């Protein structure tokens, strides 16, 4: 009999805390079983965080989360050979379920509580296994993100903000609310049929609606199992029901589920303003990695200056964070750098360099327009530690992905105006899906000029012939590297070519946007491939 072990770093501390609480019959007043999911997060009121004694007669061991799920199952009557096929796969791969359950542990109580409040089938708590395998940073080829895999449009439709700093599709609490709102809408739209609603969550209400109308015209039944749906959707609902069947009766399928107490794991703390996530982790006395895992909606090194201003932290750390925050007024929660503007500087380049946004620089400095003058001083918000410490931020996750060793030769390609993934993939004789995967993208994601893509290929000769970044040079290939250069006042192609000992022709080939241009503009970004063994003037 296989065993799905859930005694992980995530829940061991919770179980230990639970044991201590039961022994002393002490309960945090701020952590209550309430009716909404936001309430299930037990939002901390800073004035009421003192533990309160609970009379011994009210002490009882909490219910197991799996038992609560089983008690709320509503779809178990559905049987089909497609379910049996998926169930057999899960029985053969208990290690997969083990990994998924470990990732789900911090989030499960939050989801289950919200389902209970709404009276929805508890099988839906297992839907993130099908959608994302409970990976909070999951991103699909269809541009879907987060545990619940919202695409951008549907996310906005259900109130999930998506900015440079923050993506509500990955915010565990907000995305859970939105996903259940969407499923309830679909349930009403399809006259109370949960399987139709689930199928529509995967492929869209229009797709399912057309399949139903098609069957009606042909005099066929319109239940989910008889509909002509996309292949992915035909496998989507059976997979959820197979997992539900396994959870409903683990011994019958050769698995044992370790008990998870049906208690809140995470609690929401209102921090009130933008805060560096490294500082927040330090104040909560947890690792920065855990801070990102509990709050995957934040893309960068800090929370969004425009909110939300709440952070999810383990229950036992909420009071610690709340008390420590009192020592840090809003202006001390972000590190500020004084920067003297140089000739040729532009706000966009400065924002990219410091991993912040033009709008925030303008707001902090009381600017209305984008013009800056050499010699003026700007206050720029920056991360308090080296950026590589924030390894689960969006930029660092991408860098880790792009630097992952793979087969073949690695080529770095800088996107130019008018480029598309399809064009680049065709040039290198690779698949669009593969190219997108290497670069943490979806095939339909827009390409921004200046972005660097990585490409892995075994056809070095073809690469040299078609990619300006790989034109053959008179020096050894392994001695040249790509650099970025910002044009300064007084620069010309001739001066730059002399400084870096490259030809004007190569400069033009490496930078297509220079074709037909007579003059360079200060602040313009150029790409150069230079011999690192040679010495240059100041870059």
| Strand residues in 231-340 grouped as ranges (E) | 255-257, 266-270, 310-314, 335-340
Which helix (H) or strand (E) segment holds residue 38: the answer is: helix 37-40
For residue range 508-538, list pLDDT tens digits in order: 878 877 766 667 888 888 888 876 544 444 4
Mean pLDDT of 206-230: 97
Taking all residues of the chain, what is their mean pLDDT, rounded to a whole number?
83
Catalytic option among 131, 174, 316, 319: 131
Contact 253, 243 (CB under 8 A): no
- Measured in whole angstroms, the distance separating CA 349 from the mean position of its chain's CA atoms is 25
Helix (H) or strand (E) run with residue 213 in it: helix 205-217
Say whether 247 sits in a helix, a strand or coil. helix
Could you report the per-residue pLDDT of 343-375, keeping only the tens digit for each?
888 898 899 888 899 999 998 898 988 889 899
Residues 263, 14 contacting (CB under 8 angstroms): yes
Tell the residue number behind the tokens 């009421």, with chain if given.
Answer: 48
φ, ψ at 372 (rounded to 5°): -130, 150
**Which among 302, 312, 318 is positioned nearest to 136, based on CA atoms?**
312
Dihedral angle sign, alpha carbons of residues 301, 302, 308, 313: positive
What is the greatest pairwise CA distance in the chain?
86
Residue 459 pLDDT: 62
Cα torsion at 322, 323, 327, 331 (round to 10°)? 10
Predicted confidence (pLDDT) per residue in 259-279, tens digit: 778 999 999 999 999 999 999
Six token digits for residue 325: 């925050």
Phi, psi of 197 (to 5 degrees): -60, -45
**Catalytic residue flag (residue 33):** no
Tell me the HSE value of 9 on the side-chain side, using a 13 A CA sphere.
5
Residue 309 pLDDT > 50: yes
DSSP letter for each residue of 108-150 = HHHHHHHHHHHT--GGGGGHHHHHHTT-TT-B-TTS-BTTTTB
505 token code pair:
């022709």
Q: pLDDT tens for residues 98-110?
A: 899 899 999 999 9
* CA-CA-CA-CA torsion sign (334, 337, 338, 343): negative
What are the phi and psi torsion angles at 221 (to 5°)? -60, 160
CA quadruple 328, 334, 336, 341: dihedral, nearest 10 = -160
The torsion angles phi and psi of 378, rounded to 5 degrees, stand at: -115, 145
Place of tokens 């029901």: 241
Q: What is the mean pLDDT of residues 170-186?
A: 98
Quote the distance between the C-alpha of residue 207 and its chain's center.
27
Taking residue 413's Cβ as centre, other Cβ atoms within 10 Å add up to 22
Euclidean distance between CA atoms 373 and 366, whole angstroms:
15
Q: Which helix (H) or strand (E) holds 436?
A: helix 432-438
CA 382/CA 366 separation, integer angstroms = 17
The proportion of the chain whose per-residue pLDDT surpasses 90, expressed as a percent, equals 54
Sign of the dihedral defined by the CA atoms of residues 86, 87, 89, 93, in that order: positive
CA 18 to chain centroid, in Å, comes to 30
Distance, CA of 179 to chain centre? 16
Q: Which residues pair with 339 in a beta bridge?
A: 378
In this structure, the dihedral spanned by the alpha carbons of residues 390, 391, 392 and 396, taken in order and rounded to 10 degrees, is 100
- Over residues 375-425, the pLDDT tens digits come to 999 999 999 998 888 999 998 898 889 888 888 888 889 888 888 888 898
- Are 87 and 208 spatial neighbours (Cβ–Cβ below 8 Å)? no
Name the residue with higher pLDDT: 254 or 32: 254
Residue 500 in tokens: 């870096």
Pairing relationship of beta strands 2-4 and 255-257 according to DSSP bridges:
parallel
- The pLDDT assigned to 462 comes to 43
Residue 501 near residue 406, CB atoms below 8 Å:
no
């Amino acid at each position: 009999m296989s065993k799905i072990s859930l005694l992980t770093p995530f829940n061991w501390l919770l179980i230990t805390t639970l044991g201590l609480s039961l022994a002393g019959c002490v309960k945090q007043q701020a952590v209550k079983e309430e009716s909404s999911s936001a309430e299930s997060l037990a939002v901390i009121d800073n004035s009421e965080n003192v533990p309160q004694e609970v009379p011994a007669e009210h002490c009882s061991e909490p219910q197991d989360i799996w038992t609560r799920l089983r008690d709320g199952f509503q779809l178990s009557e559905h049987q089909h050979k497609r379910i049996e096929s998926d169930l057999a796969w899960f029985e053969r791969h208990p290690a997969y379920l083990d990994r998924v359950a470990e990732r789900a542990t911090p989030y499960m109580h939050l989801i289950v509580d919200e389902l209970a409040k709404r009276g929805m089938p508890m099988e839906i708590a297992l839907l993130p296994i099908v959608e994302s395998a409970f990976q909070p940073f999951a991103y699909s080829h269809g541009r879907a993100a987060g545990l619940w895999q919202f695409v951008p449009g549907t996310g906005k439709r259900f109130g999930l903000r998506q900015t440079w700093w923050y993506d509500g599709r990955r915010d565990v609490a907000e995305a859970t609310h939105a996903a259940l709102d969407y499923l309830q809408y679909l349930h009403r739209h399809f006259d109370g049929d949960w399987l139709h609603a689930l199928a529509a969550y995967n492929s869209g209400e229009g797709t399912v609606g057309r399949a139903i109308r098609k069957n009606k015209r042909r005099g066929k039944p319109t239940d989910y199992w008889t509909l002509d749906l996309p292949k992915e959707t035909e496998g989507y609902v059976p997979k959820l029901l197979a997992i539900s069947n396994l959870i409903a009766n683990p011994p019958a399928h050769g698995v044992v589920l370790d008990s998870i107490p049906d208690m809140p794991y995470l609690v929401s703390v209102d921090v009130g303003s933008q805060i560096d996530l490294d500082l927040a982790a330090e104040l909560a006395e947890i690792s920065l990695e855990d801070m990102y895992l509990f709050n995957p909606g934040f893309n960068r090194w800090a929370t969004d200056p425009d909110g939300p201003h709440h952070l999810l932290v383990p229950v036992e750390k909420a009071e610690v964070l709340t008390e420590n925050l009192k020592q840090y007024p809003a202006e001390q929660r972000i590190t500020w750098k004084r920067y003297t503007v140089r000739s040729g500087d532009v706000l966009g380049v400065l924002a990219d360099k410091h991993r912040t946004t033009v709008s925030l620089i303008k707001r902090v400095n009381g600017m209305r327009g984008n013009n800056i003058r050499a010699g003026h001083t700007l206050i720029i918000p920056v991360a308090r530690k080296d950026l590589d410490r924030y390894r689960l931020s969006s930029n660092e996750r991408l860098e880790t992905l792009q630097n992952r060793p793979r087969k073949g030769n690695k080529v770095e390609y800088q996107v130019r105006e008018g480029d598309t993934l399809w064009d680049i993939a065709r040039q290198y004789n690779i698949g669009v899906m593969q190219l997108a995967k290497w670069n943490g993208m979806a095939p339909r994601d827009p390409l921004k000029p200046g972005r660097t893509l990585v490409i892995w290929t075994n056809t070095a000769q073809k690469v040299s012939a078609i990619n300006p970044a790989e034109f053959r040079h008179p020096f050894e290939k392994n001695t040249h590297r790509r650099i970025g250069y910002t044009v300064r006042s007084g620069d010309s192609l001739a001066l730059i070519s002399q400084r870096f000992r490259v030809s004007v022709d190569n400069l033009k080939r490496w930078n297509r946007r220079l074709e037909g241009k007579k003059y360079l503009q200060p602040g313009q970004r150029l790409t150069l491939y230079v011999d690192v063994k040679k010495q240059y003037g100041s870059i």
